[in-house]
């Protein structure tokens, strides 16, 4: 440890009365003497660990949940071996937030109290020094370093303490922009302390923060012995939650059945993929228990927390309707194509490929679970269903078309494109970050980048990294995960595919099989030439949309008619549309330039407007029909199936 000022002359820095860093005591003559051990400091009531620390050994003994050492058998053995070493017995537990690092230390504390540890660890107590408590005790410059120094000194001179710094990198000044840049930095004290043979130290942090601090402070890897804490599997997590459920029952005054425990594990693993087990499952179960307890507040009822309550809690958490969540799993995934085909016609091949990728990621079968649910490139002529398929996917996966986030990349083609998307300063302008803000507010969404071929090169590089890493970093350094999102890029094939050498029926009309295959091959070749290989490597599937046939166009018109039928049914009116009327709508509404995009508007012009005029003139009509009369669509009344 760093040398202190000469004790016989007093410290060089004056201390205020009641300063928690002051571990000296006053003798009868008013002089100051240094205690021989921390026991004297404790008697004076001025011990930093006594005032700010948490005795995890005592806490573990009073917990109602079972701390099963078998769950972390390898990690516990590694920690005991490090603490048993002759020197440099400092370990840092590295794992993502929520994986159970503090629970692992609590388990070790219980094993120490039960005597199930090596001889040198018997009788020791694990004392946690919370970073927030230290900060709360800081009132002027230098207080932070004094408190950390005194705590390290106490832990060193005492023979019964193992000091635990949860979030140890916070004590080392780590921020999003690098190590040593924070307002409080005691890294040099930790470095010196780790050389002291009397200091037994445990720390914990995340892999990202550990990499950052190890890069900036190389001594960490030699003085800290790293212990990786892995995410437990499903069965282990279920056992952990079964134990935790007893504590939740007592705290909330509820009953938790086994179905709720398993649902919390499975649903959190499915929909909260930016976090890890068991933390996210425990958080979900706690939310469900709290929701159930609140619902019966003021009564003597003891509510039961089951699968339904867990599903409702997850719906509140994610914003996805409960009926979508309760149908999650194999049943919903199996019916994904059917749900998409209810809105999309003529693109069965694209729908199948899309659903296949989604199933792989939803079942966590892909190699990188942190990546989005899927990254797709939709290529095809205008009006063939690219945007409509994205809308349908948002409704199927997340329960609402409002979960579709659309960004027209033509708006981001200039040099300010990247700052506008992620939030950066360009010149004198501070951009908020349109993409990052939307992702932060709606993590469970379908993100669409329209006209991707027009994007700026800087944006393309950012997207390439985003596809690979599964997250985006905003201008403030905040990491936003995309593991719950689906990313779709769309491109008009006419912008990248050479002019066709057939009859030019692109996007609509009768296209025979050979011409369609030739078009798709032309598009595929052009895409590979247009986009760089590293960009294409991040895409899960390129979907080449077929030009729409006359049959597909008629089916699209019938989808619009079905919506009209549902609205008329509320007024007890039925509508029959003849085939010739459907054909007339296709003839007037489909075009080479816009494909089927204007069919909805054409239905309104050719059918809804004359229908409205007819209903105003015939308010008692209940059965009506639309047919072509002298080249125009007319609406007539039906009586017993006969025209009137």
* HEC per residue, 10-65: CCCCCCCCCCCCCCCEECCCCCEECCCCHHHHHHHCCCHHHHHCEEHHHHHHHCCC
The whole-number average pLDDT for the span 49-78 is: 84
What is the tens place of the pLDDT at every residue in 342-370? 999 999 999 999 999 999 988 878 878 78
What is the tens place of the pLDDT at every residue in 111-162? 999 999 999 999 999 999 999 999 999 999 999 999 999 999 999 999 999 9
Report if residue 96 sits inside a domain.
yes
Q: What's the pLDDT score for residue 328?
A: 54
pLDDT above 50 for 401:
yes
Tokens of 619: 């308010």
Percent of the chain with pLDDT over 70: 86
pLDDT above 60 for 589:
yes
Domain count, the chain: 4
Q: How far apart are CA 33 and CA 530, in angstroms?
A: 78
The whole-number average pLDDT for the span 405-417 is: 95
| Residues 129, 201 within the same domain | yes
Cα-flanking dihedrals φ and ψ of residue 94, to 5°?
-115, 120
For the chain, helix, strand, coil in percent to 5 are 50, 15, 35
| Residues 381, 477 within the same domain | yes
26 vs 203 pLDDT, higher one: 203
User: What average pLDDT does the structure give for the chain?
Assistant: 85
Lowest mean pLDDT across 88-92, 325-329, 479-483: 325-329
The whole-number average pLDDT for the span 506-515 is: 48
Q: Is 163 exposed, middle or buried (0-12, 13-18, 19+ CB in 10 A)?
A: buried
| Cα→Cα distances 451→411, 562, 570, Å | 10, 31, 40
Q: What's the pLDDT score for residue 2?
A: 39
In this structure, what CATH number is given to the domain that contains residue 493? 3.40.50.300
Report if residue 15 sits inside a domain.
no
| Residues 127, 152 within the same domain | yes
Percent of the chain with pLDDT over 90: 66
pTM exceeds cut of 0.75: yes
Report if residue 39 sits inside a domain.
no
| Residues 80, 155 within the same domain | yes
Report if residue 314 sits inside a domain.
yes
Q: What's the pLDDT score for residue 426?
A: 87
What is the H or E stretch that residue 238 is in?
helix 234-252
The whole-number average pLDDT for the span 280-286 is: 97
| Cα→Cα distances 145→6, 26, 150, 195, 339, Å | 19, 23, 8, 18, 61
11 vs 146 pLDDT, higher one: 146
| Residues 505, 635 within the same domain | no
Find out whether 292 and 325 touch, Cβ atoms under 8 Å.
no
CA 418, 424, 426: angle at the middle one, nearest 5?
85
pLDDT above 90 for 22:
no
If pLDDT is split at 50, 70 and 90, which confidence band does 498 have? Answer: low
| Residues 321, 388 within the same domain | no
pLDDT above 80 for 404:
yes
The beta strand positions in 508-608, using DSSP E, are: 541-544, 574-577
Q: Which of these three, 510, 544, 578, is where a domain ends?
A: 544
In this structure, what CATH number is given to the domain that contains residue 245? 1.10.8.60
| Residues 560, 425 within the same domain | no
Q: What's the pLDDT score for residue 477?
A: 82
Name residue, tokens 């799993």: 329
Report if residue 63 sits inside a domain.
yes
What is the tens place of the pLDDT at every residue in 600-619? 999 999 999 999 999 999 99
pLDDT above 60 for 44:
no
Question: What angle separates helix 550-569 from helix 579-589, to the nearest 10 degrees?
Answer: 110
Residue 159's domain spans which residues? 50-228
Q: What's the pLDDT score for residue 5?
A: 38
| Residues 245, 295 within the same domain | yes
pLDDT above 70 for 39:
no
Report if residue 609 sits inside a domain.
yes
The beta strand positions in 108-198, using DSSP E, are: 125-128, 161-166
Q: Which of these three, 544, 569, 598, is where a domain ends?
A: 544
Q: Using CA of residue 92, residue 38, residue 189, residue 1, what is the dihedral sign?
A: negative
Q: What's the pLDDT score for residue 327?
A: 58
What is the tens place of the pLDDT at every residue in 245-274? 999 999 999 999 999 999 999 999 888 988
Report if residue 34 sits inside a domain.
no
| Residues 95, 202 within the same domain | yes
| Residues 370, 448 within the same domain | yes
Q: What's the pLDDT score for residue 105?
A: 96
| Residues 255, 182 within the same domain | no
Q: What's the pLDDT score for residue 18?
A: 36
What is the tens place of the pLDDT at every residue in 75-85? 999 999 999 99
Lowest mean pLDDT across 214-218, 332-336, 441-445: 332-336
| Residues 318, 365 within the same domain | no
Lowest mean pLDDT across 170-179, 193-202, 466-475, 548-557: 170-179
Report if residue 22 sits inside a domain.
no
Lowest mean pLDDT across 373-377, 512-516, 611-615: 512-516
């Amino acid at each position: 440890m760093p040398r202190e000022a000469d004790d016989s002359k007093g410290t060089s820095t004056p201390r205020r009365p009641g300063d928690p860093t002051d571990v000296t005591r006053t003798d009868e003559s008013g002089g100051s003497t240094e205690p021989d051990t921390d026991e004297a400091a404790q008697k004076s009531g001025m011990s930093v660990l006594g005032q700010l620390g948490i005795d995890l050994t005592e806490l573990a003994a009073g917990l109602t949940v079972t701390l099963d050492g078998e769950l972390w058998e390898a990690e516990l053995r590694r920690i005991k071996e490090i603490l048993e070493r002759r020197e440099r017995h400092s370990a840092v537990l590295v794992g993502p937030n929520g994986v159970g690092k503090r629970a692992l230390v609590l388990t070790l504390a219980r094993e120490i109290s039960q005597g199930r540890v090596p001889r040198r660890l018997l009788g020791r107590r694990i004392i946690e020094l919370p970073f927030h408590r230290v900060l709360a005790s800081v009132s002027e410059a230098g207080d932070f370093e004094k408190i950390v120094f005194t705590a390290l000194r106490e832990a060193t001179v005492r023979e019964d303490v193992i000091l635990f710094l949860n979030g140890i990198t916070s004590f080392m000044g780590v921020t999003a922009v690098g190590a040593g840049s924070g307002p409080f930095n005691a890294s040099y004290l930790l470095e010196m302390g780790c050389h002291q043979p009397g200091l037994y130290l445990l720390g914990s942090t995340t892999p990202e923060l550990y990499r950052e601090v190890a890069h900036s402070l190389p001594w960490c890897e030699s003085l800290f012995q790293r212990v990786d804490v892995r995410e437990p599997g499903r069965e282990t997590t279920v056992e952990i939650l079964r134990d935790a459920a007893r504590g939740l029952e007592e705290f909330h005054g509820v009953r938790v059945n086994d179905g709720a425990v398993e649902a919390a594990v499975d649903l959190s693993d499915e929909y909260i993929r930016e976090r890890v087990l068991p933390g996210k499952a425990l958080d979900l179960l706690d939310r469900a228990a709290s929701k159930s307890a609140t619902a019966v507040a003021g009564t003597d009822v003891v509510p039961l927390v089951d699968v339904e309550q867990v599903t409702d809690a997850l719906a509140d958490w994610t914003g996805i309707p409960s009926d979508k969540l309760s149908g999650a799993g194999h049943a919903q995934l199996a019916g994904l194509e059917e749900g998409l085909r209810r809105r999309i016609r003529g693109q069965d091949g694209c729908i199948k490929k899309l659903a296949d990728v989604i199933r792989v990621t939803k079942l966590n079968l892909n190699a990188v679970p942190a990546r989005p649910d899927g990254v797709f490139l939709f290529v095809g002529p205008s009006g063939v269903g690219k945007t409509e398929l994205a809308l349908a996917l948002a409704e199927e996966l997340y329960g609402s078309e409002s979960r579709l986030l659309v960004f027209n990349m033509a708006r981001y083609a200039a040099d300010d494109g990247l700052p506008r998307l992620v939030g950066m300063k360009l010149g004198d302008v501070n951009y908020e970050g349109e993409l990052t803000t939307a992702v932060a507010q709606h993590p469970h969404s379908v993100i669409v980048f329209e006209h991707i071929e027009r994007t700026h090169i800087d944006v393309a590089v950012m997207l390439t990294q985003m596809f690979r890493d599964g997250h985006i970093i905003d201008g403030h350094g905040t990491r936003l995960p995309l593991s719950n999102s689906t990313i779709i890029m769309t491109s008009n094939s006419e912008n990248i595919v050479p002019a066709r050498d057939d009859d030019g029926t692109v996007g609509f009309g009768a296209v025979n099989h050979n011409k369609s295959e030739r078009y798709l091959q032309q598009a595929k070749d052009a895409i590979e030439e247009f986009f760089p290989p590293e960009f294409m490597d991040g895409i899960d599937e390129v979907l080449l949309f077929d030009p729409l046939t006359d049959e597909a166009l008629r089916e699209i018109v019938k989808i619009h008619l079905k919506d009209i039928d549902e609205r008329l049914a509320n007024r007890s009116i039925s509508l029959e549309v003849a085939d010739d009327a459907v054909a007339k709508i296709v003839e007037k509404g489909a075009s080479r330039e816009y494909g089927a995009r204007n069919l909805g508007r054409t239905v309104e012009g050719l059918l809804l407007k004359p229908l409205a005029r007819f209903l105003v003139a015939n308010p008692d009509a209940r059965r009506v029909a639309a047919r072509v009369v002298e080249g125009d669509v007319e609406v007539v009344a039906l009586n017993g199936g006969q025209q009137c």
